[in-house]
Amino acid sequence: DTAVSQTPKYLVTQMGNDKSIKCEQNLGHDTMYWYKQDSKKFLKIMFSYNNKELIINETVPNRFSPKSPDKAHLNLHINSLELGDSAVYFCASSQGWEQETQYFGPGTRLLVL
Amino acid sequence: QKEVEQNSGPLSVPEGAIASLNCTYSDRGSQSFFWYRQYSGKSPELIMSIYSNGDKEDGRFTAQLNKASQYVSLLIRDSQPSDSATYLCAVTTGNQFYFGTGTSLTVIP
């Protein structure tokens, strides 16, 4: 059983397009996250939701919009894709906050041409 | 200054040796500290978490935390080629999570 899953695994698209990445966790966790890992492997948090409420919204372009329909899902929608959006996007979840271990999904490799 | 700093490496050690990975953080209010391992092309996975000063051991891994020096380290004893990966230090401060840029470790057979 996959604990944290993401779809799609790979995404190749043209500049200006709109795309979505889906994330689901079956661990019963309350908190979910989106991270971006760039080509230099720097992992940066983008958003965090706790019980469907947004609790972290780092400085990311407003072209990125998270949506949490329920505690088990946190989707990421990206409008007007740009070349600089090319990266690996990881979804993660944890039982609670702060001291809790985060479990990462397999990542979505986004390439904007 | 970055919130979490790590030596990017690469760090190379012979098989069987001790690998020492270091991490410093800037916020004295930081509360929780984690070490994640990331193999190439894979997602990060937790190795150790530590919350109070001192050492915490789990198998071949030992995490060390010194809040006065704002320093956390990971020791890997009896290093194996399968330990070759990037090791990410992560720190939580209030409701913020920060990852370091990672240290690349290669264990030479």
Least confident of A30-44, A48-62, A76-90, A99-113: A48-62
Q: How confident is the model at residue B84 (pLDDT cuts 50, 70, 90)?
A: very high
DSSP-assigned letter for residue B91: E
**Residue corresponding to tokens 């470790």:** B105
- Quick: pLDDT tens for B43-52: 999 999 999 9
How is residue A83 annotated by DSSP? G
CB contacts, 8 Å: A33 with chain B = 97
pLDDT at A58: 73
Instruction: Look up residue A94 and give its two tokens.
Output: 């944890």
Which residue on chain A is closest to B38 by alpha carbon? A41
CA distance A49 to A33: 6
Nearest to A21 by CA among A61, A80, A77: A77
Kindly determine whether residue A90 and residue B43, on different chains, have CB atoms separated by under 8 Å.
Answer: yes
Closest residue in chain B to residue A96, using alpha carbons only: B95
Return d(Cα B67, Cα B61) in angstroms, integer: 20
* Half-sphere exposure of residue B59: CA atoms within 13 angstroms, side-chain side: 5
Residues of B within 8 A of A98 (CB-CB) are: 31-32, 92, 95
Query: Using only C-alpha atoms, what is the Rg of chain B?
Result: 13
DSSP letter assigned to residue A99? S
Distance CA A54, CA B93 (A): 17
At residue B104 the predicted structure's pLDDT band, cuts being 50, 70 and 90, is: very high
Interface test with A, best of B88, B97, B99 (most A CBs within 10 A): B97
Which two three-digit tokens encode residue B23? 């991490």
Query: A13-57: per-residue pLDDT in tens?
Result: 999 999 999 999 999 999 999 999 988 788 888 988 888 788 777
Q: Does B7 score more than 70 pLDDT?
A: yes
Q: Compute the average pLDDT of residues B11-37.
A: 94
Read off the pLDDT of each residue in B3-16 and give the average, rounded to a whole number: 91
